[in-house]
């Protein structure tokens, strides 16, 4: 999967055109604060209207620039989407669900252990070696989580989530 293709640019152009249109419209219908008798040239919606229009123009130019372009060769892709998917999903679970639900140190230790464990586990290697590696990862996760939590809690006096 690649994002730097003409098709992706056309989708982005459509999305950003819609965003620009929404911002322009939002600026146009925004309260003009007549009740406060402000100068008409200083209405709060002025700059959003201009920015929205500029974004729409750029989106049209982007869509036009993709005409006649061909998609790059997919064999040159360097990334691993499985690794990315796990890293993104688990990081979001940690930031959006675990933090605030569990004490920060526990949430961080769990996050680091699962993240590092997932990528460290080697199915082709003997179980004993993997088990040793998991013990190391667990100790590492707990040490880092406790260290970071203590630094912010006691060093910087932050009330942790």
Which residues, in sequence order, are CB contacts of 151 under 8 Å at separation 6+? none
Tell the smallest beta-carbon distance from residue 72 to other proteins (Å): 11
Q: Please state at what angle helix 104-120 crosses helix 81-92, rounded to 10 degrees.
A: 170
Give the DSSP H/E element, type plus range, for residue 59.
helix 46-65
The only residue of 83, 122, 129, 135 in contact with other proteins, by rule CB under 8 A: 83
- Grouping H, G, I as helix, E, B as strand and the rest as coil, residue 124 is coil
The only residue of 14, 18, 71, 84 in contact with other proteins, by rule CB under 8 A: 84
Closer Cβ to other proteins, 43 or 130, answer by number: 43
Answer whether 123's CB lies under 8 Å from 136's CB: no
The only residue of 16, 102, 138, 142 in contact with other proteins, by rule CB under 8 A: 16
Closer Cβ to other proteins, 126 or 155, answer by number: 155
The only residue of 21, 138, 144, 146 in contact with other proteins, by rule CB under 8 A: 144
Q: For tokens 């730097």, what's the residue?
A: 4
Tell the smallest beta-carbon distance from residue 128 to other proteins (Å): 20
Residue 159 touches other proteins, criterion: CB under 8 A: yes
> Can you read off the two tokens belonging to residue 51?
């920015």
């Amino acid at each position: 999967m690649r994002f730097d293709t003409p098709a992706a640019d056309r989708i982005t152009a459509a999305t950003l055109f819609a965003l620009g249109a929404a911002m322009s419209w939002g600026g146009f219908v925004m309260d003009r604060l007549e009740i406060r008798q402000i100068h008409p040239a200083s209405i709060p919606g002025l700059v959003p209207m201009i920015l929205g229009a500029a974004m729409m123009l750029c989106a049209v130019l982007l869509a036009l620039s993709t005409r006649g372009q061909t998609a790059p060769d997919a064999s040159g892709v360097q990334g691993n989407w499985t690794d990315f998917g796990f890293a993104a999903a688990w990081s979001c679970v940690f930031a959006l669900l675990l933090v605030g639900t569990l004490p920060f140190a526990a949430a961080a230790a769990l996050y680091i252990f699962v993240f590092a464990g997932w990528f460290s586990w080697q199915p082709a290697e003997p179980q004993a070696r993997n088990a040793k590696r998991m013990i190391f990862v667990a100790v590492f996760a707990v040490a880092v989580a406790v260290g970071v939590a203590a630094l912010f809690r006691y060093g910087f006096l932050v009330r942790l989530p």
